[in-house]
Structure 1
Amino acid sequence: MNKTISINLGGFFFHIDEDAYQKLSRYFDAVKRSLAPDGREEIMKDIESRIAELFQERIKNDKQVIGLIEIDAVIGIMGQPEDYKIDDEKTSYQSNTSTSSSSNYYYPSKRLFRDKENGMLGGVMAGLGHYLGIDALWLRIIMVILFFGFGTGLFVYIVLWVLVPEAITTTQKLEMRGEPINISNIERKVKEGIDDISSKISNIDHQKIASTAKSGAEKIGSTFEEIFKTIFKIFAIFVGAIIVLVASFSLLGFIITGIVMMFSSTMPDNYILNNIQTPIGLETPLWVQGILVILVFGIPFFFLLLLGLKLLVNNLKSIGNIATYTLIALWVIALGIAISLGINEATQMAYEGKVVQKEEIILTPNDTLNIKFKNNDFYSKNSYHETDFKLTQDENKNEIIYSNNVTIEIMETDEMVPYIQVEKLARGKSAAEANKRAEKIKYGYKIEGNTLILDNYLISAIENKFRGQEVALYLYLPKGTLFKTNKNFDHFDRSDNDFFNLHYSSSDYIYRVDKEKVKCLNCPLSENEYGDIENNEMVNDSTSTIIYDENGVLIKKEIKEVKEEVQNVKIEIDTKKETKTK
């Protein structure tokens, strides 16, 4: 049974057993003895911070105890002290580096930091140049172009300045350049800093004026930096809260939608087809679409949620590279599958097929054509145009597609006889398939004397699937034709209002086809919005009135003559009364 010790390493607390603690202490002592006196304390702090980071990557929870296995792994990454003794001269460093090439290096991925040592203001472009492997000068040129050309350069720079941390420690500076983080590089980096400071001190007399100016510029830059940091910290918290709120509700919504779709796949086909619509169609199983919804939409909002939390919480722990790359890979795969299914669905509707049927309507002179839409009570008790597609059964219990996707348009013709043109339309992945599917649409109508009776629905066999089936009716009427519509006509009418403006307030109105538009013969003047009401005589004329019979024939009766006759009859009655009294 080993004794457990709690230690503070690099600002973090760890539980470590006694054997591992003794080995780690001996390792630190050996490293310290191998270092030169100049910068020794700073190097040791950086080494401790780096080892603390490596420990954090290896422990799964705060209660885990660090043992000899973890110590050996970390020492394997950092290297033995005797392998990394470097001299002040560059050639000696290169020699020692080559002889230790067999050592166990740890190459971390690059991290984005601000490089204020090589920066002009906040070190944003210098740090971004290290991360992208591009000279910072080109990035500065691009930023200037964005600033003057599009006005976004300053905003982008300030946002990066606030969000990207500065590379302060030696470990962060090595991570910024993507260099191995071991004792050799840490010591070299610290010595380079010390040499740079020594060089500046030796040349202080020659650079006094430049240093003073730079110091003033740095103070101004630091002041602006603190101001911008304060402002954008508040702004970042506000934006982070909004992002967390939106991302949380969106992620929850997509997860619930996906789960509902997965469980809905067990429902009957007719319920699914009649109540559920998806962008990629219902030929793909619903449980597959549910998984795709969660992956394609849920993963981006999950990362957006992490971004919002990162803006709110400074020390938010990362989910790890393995989880990140796994989620990205799943998202790419799911997106590819969804796009391929969407393309396949689009190809199913690529071509339009059409079947046309034409029939003349024989009317006697001065006859009025009655246009009626008829409903089939077996399929629907509602006669209105509101059911696009529905899977149901016919009288023989055969599954069929039922739809109210029927439209009618009143049009003018130069022919002497009116006629109706029935166009059955459908879509398919080829023209031949679309035409074949259009031919299988069943639609009924009949002409009885001066009455045109039209079905307000179409049906098709279920094997034809939902492929945009519809029926478009075109009623061609010669000039002077009189017609009237029933109360359901307005639900299916798609006529051009400039030519035929249906007055749906009553089904008793009679219309006449004129040269440029259809006129209403007995509509009230209060509905004369489009100027399509016949107005040859004023209805409120004190001497006349207008009456149309059932065939639309105008009858004019003089009110003045009736009044005179009434007065004459009254005089005659009064005279008879006086005579009888006498």
Structure 2
Amino acid sequence: MMDKTININIAGTLFQIDEEAFRILRDYLQAINNRFRNVQGGHETIDDIESRIAEIFQSQKGMAGVISKANVEAMIAIIGKPEDFDHTGTETEAPVYTSQRKRMYRNPDDSIISGVCGGIGAYLNTDPVLFRILFVLFTMLFGAGFFVYIALWIALPSARTDTQKREMFGGAYHSTGSPIRQPDNTFVSSAPVYNSGYNNTSRIGNAFNEIFRALGRVCYIILRIFLIIIGVMLVLTGFLFILSFVMIFVFKYPWVFSADGFDMNFIYFPDFLNYIVSPASAPWIIALTSIAVVLPMLALIYWGVKMIFWFKAKDGIVSLAGLVLWVLSIAALSIILFNEGISFAETAKISSQNIFSHSPDTLFVKADKKVSDLKYEKELSLKREAYTVFINEEKKELYIRPHMNVNLSDNDLARVEIRKLSSGRTEPDARKRAEELLYNYSVNGDTLLLDEYLTIPSGRKWSADDVGINLYIPEGTVLKFDSASENLLHARSGFEYEEDSDSTKWVYNKRLWVLTDDGLKPLSSQPAKQK
């Protein structure tokens, strides 16, 4: 048969204690009360002892949380018996329990918003109204008061326990005792008392307190509304970002993030990654990038939910684990990317040129191999740079659209220059890669034949490859493009395109251009004779 248990309250903390232990504790506290109740500072001493008893019991782990006789005897051994306390007559010094170092807290018992001013007032033994007025004045005049208040709100803990309140008041706080109760017996009172001078405030101080309390309620409501709005924004931002990330890189929905509406089209970037880095690194890069991107967004969503519903949670371990995981993912990703990035350390260019036998008045530029004839499954593009990569999964080949620049020739002869560019670990390696690029062109009388794409050999990784076509012609030469070759002209910015007066769009597909002092301009006259 189990011993009878009794619910008691010591220093504001509830405990369950068995009947035998209760009798020992009751006699012990009664002896303490008899010992110190008639001496100077006796009430404070009794309160300190009770708080110490509560702390000891909280640190002990009895069976099923019940205080046993052994727990009580262990407590008495720590604190000591009343007859062991040194004293001399009625002038007995209080034991060490009344010696408290001062520490600043927020005072929840004298709080309008968070108890910051109440805590400062308790610490300095000054009416907190003065500090409230100062914070309001500094906020209105300089704006700094608000931020200082928020910083103190975050930095200062709240004085919840009697020990913390004694530290806040520097020993000026005491309660007349927290009761130990059983159904028919109460032998210690529990009403809290503050022995501080500033509680007896004047009528003006009380009026100010009421005003600040009303302002505090208004500020609290405004702050809650503001935090709810911020929380909703954080939740939506995190959710939409994660949704977009999944739609782009998992489901490859181009309408989420396409080259038609944005500066880049990266929906096939994970597939393209296999052509950039080693096969062993690609899945790690994708996984670590996902962690590095998604974890902060999940944190945003969580913070937003906390702001909306204003709850506290024991999330320290989870937050720390998430932070450690995020830092490790960033570190691992950086190491992998650095190792792979060595392959792009050096850049090399190789050039070849062809001079026209004569400078025609009209130069025809035509595409030989066209992108429209290619068989490719995926496309990756940077719209602003007009850099487009076409991926042929079957042949494991990459195709890249080159770009054309038209420049004024320094003589009366027209010429075309082809520049191939690649990167590598060393300059010789980069030069070798540039030489491997497959791109064809030819000059035939007044016609320039160009491929609309260059080919990276099957099995070779992408190395920031590019081909630039520089066409040098005399001033006044008319250029006639077909639709495919004109795409090369539009592949880079830098030309002045005429704006259509009937719309807000730039005029492309003019087919007919003329080189002037001001650059390449669409020709408004009749088209030249087709060849």
Q: Report the TM-score when normalising by structure 2.
A: 0.63
Tell me, yes or no, if structure 1 residue 458 matches structure 2 residue 458: no
More divergent stretch after superposition (27-36 vs 333-342): 27-36
**8 Å Cα contact 1:351/1:431 also seen in 2:** yes
Tell me which residue corresponds to 1:392: 392
Could you say what secondary structure the match of 2:388 adopts? Answer: coil
1:407 paired residue among 382, 403, 408? 403
Deviation at 1:447?
1.7
Deviation at 1:407?
0.5
d(CA) in 1 for partners of 2:497, 2:311:
70
d(CA) in 2 for partners of 1:30, 1:439:
98
Tell me, yes or no, if structure 1 residue 227 matches structure 2 residue 192: no
Tell me, yes or no, if structure 1 residue 441 matches structure 2 residue 437: yes
For residue 80 of structure 1, what is the amino acid of its counterpart? M
Quote the RMSD (CA, aligned, Å): 6.0
Superimposed CA distance per residue, residues 66-104 of structure 1 (whole angstroms, 9 cap, x where no aligned partner): 96175579x98997245236889998645999xxxxxxx
1:83 paired residue among 78, 88, 91? 78
d(CA) in 1 for partners of 2:225, 2:455:
62
d(CA) in 2 for partners of 1:333, 1:215:
55
Could you say what secondary structure the match of 2:480 adopts? Answer: strand
Tell me, yes or no, if structure 1 residue 352 matches structure 2 residue 347: yes
Tell me which residue corresponds to 1:523: 525
Tell me which residue corresponds to 2:332: 337
Superimposed CA distance per residue, residues 95-119 of structure 1 (whole angstroms, 9 cap, x where no aligned partner): 999xxxxxxxxxxxxx996247999
Could you say what secondary structure the match of 1:467 adopts? Answer: coil
Tell me which residue corresponds to 1:135: none
- The alignment-based identity, stated in percent, is 20
Tell me, yes or no, if structure 1 residue 423 matches structure 2 residue 419: yes
**8 Å Cα contact 2:369/2:452 also seen in 1:** yes
Change in Cα spacing, 1:190 to 1:77, as seen in structure 2 (3 Å) is farther
Superimposed CA distance per residue, residues 349-392 of structure 1 (whole angstroms, 9 cap, x where no aligned partner): 454321111111213x756321111225774389x997823443
Could you say what secondary structure the match of 1:421 adopts? Answer: strand
Deviation at 1:416?
2.8
**8 Å Cα contact 1:418/1:475 also seen in 2:** yes
Tell me, yes or no, if structure 1 residue 373 matches structure 2 residue 375: no
d(CA) in 1 for partners of 2:360, 2:283:
63
Could you say what secondary structure the match of 1:80 adopts? Answer: helix
2:495 paired residue among 486, 494, 497? 497
Matches within 5 A, 1:303-342: 303-313=299-309, 316-319=312-315, 321-342=316-337
Change in Cα spacing, 1:257 to 1:370, as seen in structure 2 (3 Å) is closer
**8 Å Cα contact 1:385/1:456 also seen in 2:** no
Deviation at 1:332?
2.5
More divergent stretch after superposition (422-431 vs 246-255): 246-255
1:470 paired residue among 466, 469, 473? 466
d(CA) in 1 for partners of 2:86, 2:110:
26
d(CA) in 2 for partners of 1:359, 1:425:
18
d(CA) in 1 for partners of 2:435, 2:117:
66
Tell me, yes or no, if structure 1 residue 485 matches structure 2 residue 481: yes
Superimposed CA distance per residue, residues 406-452 of structure 1 (whole angstroms, 9 cap, x where no aligned partner): 01111111223211110111234544443332222121111223221
d(CA) in 2 for partners of 1:323, 1:6:
38
d(CA) in 1 for partners of 2:11, 2:248:
45
5+ long unaligned stretches in structure 2: 38-42, 123-131, 178-190, 253-266, 382-386, 500-505
State the structure with bigger RCO (CA 8 A, min sep 6), 1 or 2.
Answer: 2
**8 Å Cα contact 2:47/2:175 also seen in 1:** no
Number of residue equivalences? 460
d(CA) in 2 for partners of 1:256, 1:8:
59
**8 Å Cα contact 2:21/2:72 also seen in 1:** no
Could you say what secondary structure the match of 2:462 adopts? Answer: coil
Matches within 5 A, 1:72-221: 80-84=75-79, 93-94=95-96, 114-115=106-107, 123-124=115-116, 151=143, 153-154=145-146, 157=149, 166-170=158-162, 173=165, 190=174, 197-198=194-195, 200=197, 214-221=205-212
d(CA) in 1 for partners of 2:79, 2:474:
102
Deviation at 1:492?
1.2
For residue 403 of structure 1, what is the amino acid of its counterpart? I
d(CA) in 2 for partners of 1:298, 1:422:
44
d(CA) in 1 for partners of 2:389, 2:277:
13
Could you say what secondary structure the match of 1:167 adopts? Answer: coil
**8 Å Cα contact 1:412/1:513 also seen in 2:** yes
More divergent stretch after superposition (336-345 vs 114-123): 114-123
Change in Cα spacing, 1:113 to 1:488, as seen in structure 2 (3 Å) is farther
Deviation at 1:293?
4.2
More divergent stretch after superposition (39-48 vs 411-420): 39-48
Could you say what secondary structure the match of 2:221 adopts? Answer: helix
Could you say what secondary structure the match of 1:371 adopts? Answer: strand
Could you say what secondary structure the match of 2:483 adopts? Answer: coil
More divergent stretch after superposition (354-363 vs 245-254): 245-254
d(CA) in 1 for partners of 2:13, 2:115:
32
d(CA) in 1 for partners of 2:145, 2:446:
74
Superimposed CA distance per residue, residues 433-483 of structure 1 (whole angstroms, 9 cap, x where no aligned partner): 433322221211112232211011111235542222111100001234343
Instruction: Pick the structure with greater CA Rg.
Output: 1
Deviation at 1:189?
6.5
Change in Cα spacing, 1:328 to 1:372, as seen in structure 2 (3 Å) is same
d(CA) in 1 for partners of 2:20, 2:311:
30
d(CA) in 2 for partners of 1:238, 1:198:
43
d(CA) in 1 for partners of 2:453, 2:73:
79
Tell me which residue corresponds to 1:137: none
Tell me which residue corresponds to 1:561: none
d(CA) in 1 for partners of 2:248, 2:493:
40
Could you say what secondary structure the match of 1:466 adopts? Answer: coil
Superimposed CA distance per residue, residues 253-276 of structure 1 (whole angstroms, 9 cap, x where no aligned partner): 778999989xxxxxxxxxx97764
For residue 523 of structure 1, what is the amino acid of its counterpart? S
